[in-house]
């Protein structure tokens, strides 16, 4: 299985000779995404050692990657690997090509919106409390459709956890959303508006990598890796 955005799963068929590039091409075709060279997507596997993601290269065989994962997992757990311990393959955007966005497919825009939700929650996209609330309302419309007469606590908890900057929750008095004002907005329109708003940020689509400063160990900074430069 391959993990997409959220908890969505796509089944992948493979045999002993299947290469990562073949698997990636098959996934893109099934999902309605342009080929990897144009869409910028790549396959990753969870790394038991670092708890992060490891990029898989096109010529690697999928079986070899899974075997290497099992070896690392066994080393981490000192030989104890349970039957329900499985590797997770993730389809994620590796490159964001600004000059090719005019050819984006509907599925790519959908994936991009959900990826940006993760960035919003982590606080990697600068927003004001007002903008964060408006974006959360748009994501609520995207997730649930039209707002109910009264939002449940479960819905409110899900929306704030999945779409609102976690650091702002500690200081913001977020008691309501302007969700009801979006009544009648369809999924495609919600995605379009979210992307219109977020693309105004100059570093939209960049890969943000945490870094440190030699002069200050306490100050946290990020390197923004774009298709044309490093910021």
Q: Residue 214: give the domain boundaries.
A: 103-225
pLDDT-derived band at 43, boundaries 50, 70, 90 = very high
The reported pLDDT for the residue numbered 55 is: 93
The answer for residues whose C-beta is within 8 angstroms of residue 116's C-beta and 6 or more apart is: 125, 194, 198
Q: How far is CA 162 from CA 28, 133, 159, 178, 220, in A?
A: 25, 12, 5, 17, 24
The reported pLDDT for the residue numbered 105 is: 95
The answer for residues whose C-beta is within 8 angstroms of residue 171's C-beta and 6 or more apart is: none
Same domain, 110 and 214: yes
Of residues 218 and 154, more confidence is placed in 154
Q: Give yes or no for residue 39 having a pLDDT over 90.
A: yes
Same domain, 77 and 126: no
Q: Answer yes or no: pTM beyond 0.85.
A: no
* CA nearest neighbour of 123 among 177, 164, 95: 164
* CA nearest neighbour of 179 among 153, 146, 156: 146
Same domain, 128 and 210: yes
> What 3-state DSSP class applies to 178?
helix
- Domain-terminating residue out of 94, 113, 133: 94
231 within domain boundaries: no
Q: Measured in whole angstroms, how far is the alpha carbon of residue 100 from the centre of its chain?
A: 19
Q: Give yes or no for residue 40 having a pLDDT over 60.
A: yes
The reported pLDDT for the residue numbered 145 is: 93
* CA nearest neighbour of 228 among 39, 108, 97, 116: 97
Residue 79, classified by CB atoms within 10 Å of its CB into exposed (0-12), middle (13-18) or buried (19+), is exposed
Same domain, 122 and 49: no
pLDDT-derived band at 80, boundaries 50, 70, 90 = low
Residue 231 · residue 215 · CB < 8 Å: no
Same domain, 127 and 80: no
Same domain, 88 and 110: no
Strands, E assignment, 56-202: 89-93
Same domain, 115 and 20: no
The reported pLDDT for the residue numbered 207 is: 79
Cα(197)–Cα(224) distance, integer angstroms: 19
Q: Give yes or no for residue 173 having a pLDDT over 60.
A: no
The string of pLDDT tens digits covering residues 84-116 is 678 888 899 999 998 999 999 999 999 999 999
56 within domain boundaries: yes
Same domain, 44 and 140: no
């Amino acid at each position: 299985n391959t993990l997409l955005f959220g908890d969505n799963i796509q089944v992948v068929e493979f045999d002993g000779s299947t290469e990562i590039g073949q698997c990636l091409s098959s996934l893109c075709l099934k999902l309605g995404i342009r080929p990897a060279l144009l869409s910028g997507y790549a396959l990753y596997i969870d790394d038991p050692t670092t708890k992060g993601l490891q990029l898989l290269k096109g010529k690697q065989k999928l079986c070899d990657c899974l075997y290497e994962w099992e070896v690392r997992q066994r080393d981490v757990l000192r030989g104890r690997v349970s039957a329900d311990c499985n590797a997770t393959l993730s389809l994620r955007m590796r490159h964001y090509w600004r000059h090719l966005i005019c050819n984006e497919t509907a599925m790519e825009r959908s994936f991009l919106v959900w990826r940006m939700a993760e960035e919003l929650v982590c606080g990697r996209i600068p927003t004001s409390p007002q903008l964060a609330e408006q974006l959360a309302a748009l994501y609520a419309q995207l997730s649930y459709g039209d707002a109910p007469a009264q939002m449940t606590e479960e819905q409110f908890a899900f929306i704030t956890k999945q779409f609102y900057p976690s650091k702002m929750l500690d200081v913001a008095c977020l008691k309501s959303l302007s969700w009801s004002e979006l009544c009648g907005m369809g999924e495609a329109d919600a995605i379009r508006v979210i992307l219109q708003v977020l693309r105004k940020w100059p570093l939209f689509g960049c890969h943000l990598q945490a870094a440190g400063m030699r002069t200050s160990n306490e100050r946290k900074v990020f390197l923004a890796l774009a298709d044309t430069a490093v910021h």
